[in-house]
Structure 1
Amino acid sequence: MDDDGELVHGGWLTTGATDGAVRTAGLLPVLVGAHTVRRLELPVPTMLPALLRQMLLPVVLDAIGVPRTRQEWAERFERGRFLDAEVARLTDYLGPRYGDRFRLFDGKRPFAQVARLEALNGETKSPAQLVPSIASGNNVPLFSSVTEGDELLLEPGQALLWLLHAHCWDTASIKTGAVGDPQAKNGKTTGNPTGPLGQLGVTVPVGRNLFETLMLNTPIVPDGLDPADRPQWAWDERPASLGWKSPAGPEWSPRPAGGLLDLLTFQARRIRLIPCETEQGPLVHRAIVCAGDRLAQTLESDPHTAWSHTVKPKAGPSQRRPRRHASGRSAWQGLGTLLALDLPVDGDGPYTSVLLRQAGDLGAEDVLPADYPLGVEICGLEYGTQSAVVENAVSDSLPLPVASLLAEDDWLRFAILECVGQADRVGRALDNLNNDLRRASGGDPLPRDKGQRPSSPFLHSLDATMRRLLAGLRTVGEDDDLLERAQLAWELSVRTAAVREAEALLAAAPPRAVVGQVEKHNGKEVVYRSGKAVGLFHKKVAEILTRLPGRGSDNGEAAA
């Protein structure tokens, strides 16, 4: 990468190729050879949607255009790579047309930044403020190896990735007031929301290589893109009548997204990276992060989130709100949301993302074969203290059978959701067993918001089994017997894990739990003792795992 931080050809993006090699390349070579890129080597999982949305997808969509029909999408996907004509359009787009706007340190139009941005107090800060895992300001991670007082030097490629990450995920903390921003007061700007992705439960479908991943994240738009919808690097082509502030200047405005390209490249912050010259070339050693545009409302066409649908919303809120991921749960425990293909009618509930619904439609037309190795990456950040700090990161990946996304053929989807539901119900049975043993020992049930419940290690122990099941169901076809055997094997695994956890709970119970305790509930005396608790647990498990031969409560009493 040269002194200007040239991004089109400079080697800033590390990729893992399909031949196993790890290479670095610029934006254009990576896109042209997307069919040979197996994965992008990124510092954190939340970087993938940031890079896709802020750079890769909008470049491809704006240069080549969006598919308007499923047939057009299918033709592109089945080719497996960009055609020579499409490569020529990408080359022109990142060359004569906009190539000069993809320079990280350009003096006039630095990429995704504001040239000559200055803080009202004249100060600059460490680029650590771009990296959530490093202590900076009020954001002080527990295990940060770098403090705010340490000098942090970022290579240009690293700085670019964290720049894009900040536009998507930055905290809602107070921002430095910028010179030329009339809305800054007392040297700062308050009331900032988090970056747009911080308000979503991000779901990214992935394929066998980068080309397929780009296609799987390309929505079909029947009317095409609005000519007024421009990415951030082409902001000067937007109609002046919109009255929106230029992302290349210090001023900002609360506004809606003007379309898909504007949404993907939304500039939620005004940022300037400040490099210094070293023996290794230019490195970023200071940064300024100020308030940026505020997204007035998340578009219901946002392709990368699932939704919570409310049948009868209160006055004001939309019927549909982004559904965020919950920490402490594997992605497969949220399959009820990922596979929610129909809008709730009788009550409130989840509704899956635009792209997963589209994948199901393409699967129904055999564009995506039933055995296609579709994957899903989920990620999110959890914020604390008025969303000014990052408390936790959520990320996971999951194999997903295409057949489970077919709207008109729900047999496989119901089977998968039955397996998920069984694990959840058995987990609750374990929690109830734990509470009954605590009562039998003379104690109180575990408080709802304290301590680790036995269902947590139990569900964790099933993680690898569920992933093998989902991967195997890609090839189940219409073989009902094979599906039944798979579900039977699942139930065996669930029972084995549950019994193992139950035996550990029973072994930890004190001897007085055998005699038990008597408590009054609603005027009635209830006896709690270990033998009864284990018997009830085994009975409940037998009711849940219906394909297994019933073991009854006798074994539970005998074990006690």
Structure 2
Amino acid sequence: MNSPPTFNLLHEPWIPVRPLNGGPVREVGLRELLLHAHTFGRIDDPSPLVTVALLRLTLALLHRALRGPTTTEQAAEWYAHGFPTKTLEAYFQTWEDHFDLFHPQKPFWQQKSDKKEPEQYHWSLLSPELNGSNTTPVFGTKKRAEAVAGKSAAETTVRAWLGSTSPAQVARLLIQNQSFSLGGRITGASDSQQGGPVMSKALFVATGRNLHETLCLNLLPYPADMAEVDRAVWEWQAQGEDRTAGASVPLGYADRYTWLSRSILATPEPTDALHTLGYGAGIARVEDTHQGRSLEPMAALVSRMVENKAALTPLKFSLEKLVWRDLQAILPEPQNQVYVNAQGKVIRVPGFAPLTIRNAAQVLDLVNEAAQGESIVQVHAYGQILGDKAGKTSAFRHESYALPLPLLQDWERGGQHVDTAFREAKLVGSALLNATLRLAAEVVSRGGEREPHKDDVRNLAQTLPGLGAYWAALEAPFRVFLAGLNAPEEAATAWRASVTREARAAWDMNVQGAGGDGQVLGFAFRPRRTDGKYQPSPQGILDRTLASLSAAQRTNSTAPEVPS
């Protein structure tokens, strides 16, 4: 008689890691990952969503196994001297059976459907790149199948192309899907489902010189009252809890990191390969209020106007810009927005930096207390970008930045300089946009011969590449600026020079894009009067702002906003 299939995630190799000794990426189980974390550089999956989802699982496991760290000081102690190995081993032994991907009663992070005949889907449903539910796959597998075989046969064609997969791959995609699953209704299901807990959030993680340091930097203080009620998914499932009755708030960090967003059930074939799996509704989650235990530890909160009210909402990635342009969101005084309400009262709404980044700064401060020197903190940002329609994935994103430790600790030593740099770049970017719109209006109206239609002006301006090129070109100088903040005045001087240079280069691109001939040059440089009021030339709009930037540099102040 054949023994039932088993794949224990504590012992079987399935998590891709990059060894510090320079060896190739290899796969390890959770036990080896934690007991030998100091020998690995990082978790390293090709998908950024899988990478950060695996990190969240590992943090949840550490919180539950160690019931800590109770304080930042304890995290710093673990950072320097390692985790208590005996405590980890005891926890592994206690919960070993519940880490089996194919356990007959309680398969890891899965749940059987309550339907008599639950729908079966191809395993690629778990992957947005391949065949994700309610999404145009990022890498187009399903679209290519539709092109080859037609929509009616697309699913069959995808199954034929992708075939079966391994338990290790299913385990990685299972964990990714539970965290990042899209909201909406999948084919064959009757109800629309809530998205995963971090479906569209930008997640920020501090990393150290090895995986062990990375884990310690992101292990938040885990107070006794939270540890008492918190449960990871394998713990509450083992106790037979039923959480399907209604929506609930996460009990703590481990519950949030291992939320059961979908009822997934992977059933292997006799060869241990997997072809199909069950997929259905998971546990409803009370929508985050961004307070207390509803606060996502890895997310940055920024203030936005929502229904004419200032509110804190998680920072999201955008296709149009990289996250460095929102880096203020992770600083000690992040994105302090000012609004004026209907009564004319000024309302100041500060943002909220990610708990993981704030914690990392505190841990490193304790670790480096004896060492006289400034550290560089590597901050990684991971996330999924949704499309213009609900339930669509447009792209994944993974960005990394080397930030001086004082930047994350002290507003006066770092944050205020970054804030000034952003305001200067945005000021010049706004002037570049206004100059481009004015140039487009001149071109469309033939120098004022006729009244231009606003749609024609906007459409022409959008075809000109300068503004996008301006922001793209500033990414590298911004990284140099960050690295030079130990000498802020010199860094600011170099930054303003870069802003000026890239703005002029972008303007030249727009002039050439609008035609670049003598007539267009005349439009670009010629001021004129409209209704008796002087209007600067398009070139003059940009020149005035750059002049104010230069004046600010000479007086060591911030460039004022210049009206267009």
Normalising by structure 1, we get a TM-score of: 0.81
Equivalent AA in structure 2 for residue 114 of structure 1: Q
Corresponding position: 1:140 with 2:136: yes
Corresponding position: 1:341 with 2:333: yes
Alignment CA distance shift 1:119-1:542 (3 Å): farther
User: Contact (CA 8 Å) 2:122, 2:275: kept in 1 or not?
Assistant: yes
Deviation (angstroms), 1:11? 1.5
Of 237, 243, 248, 1:255 maps to 248
| Distance in 2 (alpha carbons) for counterparts of 1:122 and 1:449 | 53
Deviation (angstroms), 1:309? 4.9
Alignment CA distance shift 1:3-1:123 (3 Å): same
1:113-512 equivalences in 2 (<5 Å)? 113-115=110-112, 117=113, 122-136=118-132, 138-141=134-137, 143-146=139-142, 147=145, 148-149=155-156, 150-151=158-159, 152=162, 153-175=164-186, 188-223=189-224, 225-236=226-237, 245=242, 251=244, 253-278=246-271, 282-298=272-288, 299-309=293-303, 320-341=312-333, 346-362=347-363, 367=368, 371-384=374-387, 387-407=390-410, 409-442=411-444, 444-446=456-458, 451=463, 454-473=466-485, 476=486, 482-508=487-513, 509-512=516-519
Alignment CA distance shift 1:520-1:463 (3 Å): same
Deviations 1:428-481 (A, max 9, x none): 2222222222223235533599556522111111212222332344xx2xxxxx
RMSD: 3.2
1:504-543 equivalences in 2 (<5 Å)? 504-508=509-513, 509-516=516-523, 523-524=531-532, 532-543=537-548
Corresponding position: 1:92 with 2:90: yes
User: Contact (CA 8 Å) 2:37, 2:210: kept in 1 or not?
Assistant: yes
| Distance in 1 (alpha carbons) for counterparts of 2:464 and 2:124 | 33
Alignment CA distance shift 1:321-1:434 (3 Å): closer
Alignment CA distance shift 1:415-1:171 (3 Å): same
Aligned to 2:105: 108
Q: Higher helix fraction: Structure 1 or Structure 2?
A: 2
Select between 265-274 and 190-199 the one with higher mean Cα deviation: 190-199
Deviation (angstroms), 1:9? 1.7
Deviation (angstroms), 1:382? 3.1
Deviation (angstroms), 1:418? 1.8
Equivalent AA in structure 2 for residue 512 of structure 1: Q
Deviation (angstroms), 1:292? 0.5
User: Contact (CA 8 Å) 1:66, 1:225: kept in 2 or not?
Assistant: no
Deviation (angstroms), 1:310? 7.7
User: Contact (CA 8 Å) 2:200, 2:386: kept in 1 or not?
Assistant: no
Equivalent AA in structure 2 for residue 302 of structure 1: E
User: Contact (CA 8 Å) 2:334, 2:350: kept in 1 or not?
Assistant: no
Deviation (angstroms), 1:225? 3.4
User: Contact (CA 8 Å) 1:14, 1:40: kept in 2 or not?
Assistant: yes
Structure 1 unaligned blocks of 5 or more: 177-186, 477-481, 551-560
Deviation (angstroms), 1:45? 1.2
Identity percentage of aligned residues: 22
| Distance in 1 (alpha carbons) for counterparts of 2:504 and 2:335 | 38
Alignment CA distance shift 1:372-1:119 (3 Å): farther
SS of 2:424's equivalent? Answer: helix
Equivalent AA in structure 2 for residue 132 of structure 1: P
Deviation (angstroms), 1:261? 1.7
| Distance in 1 (alpha carbons) for counterparts of 2:460 and 2:258 | 41
Deviation (angstroms), 1:137? 5.3
Aligned positions, number: 507
SS of 2:348's equivalent? Answer: coil
Alignment CA distance shift 1:488-1:4 (3 Å): same
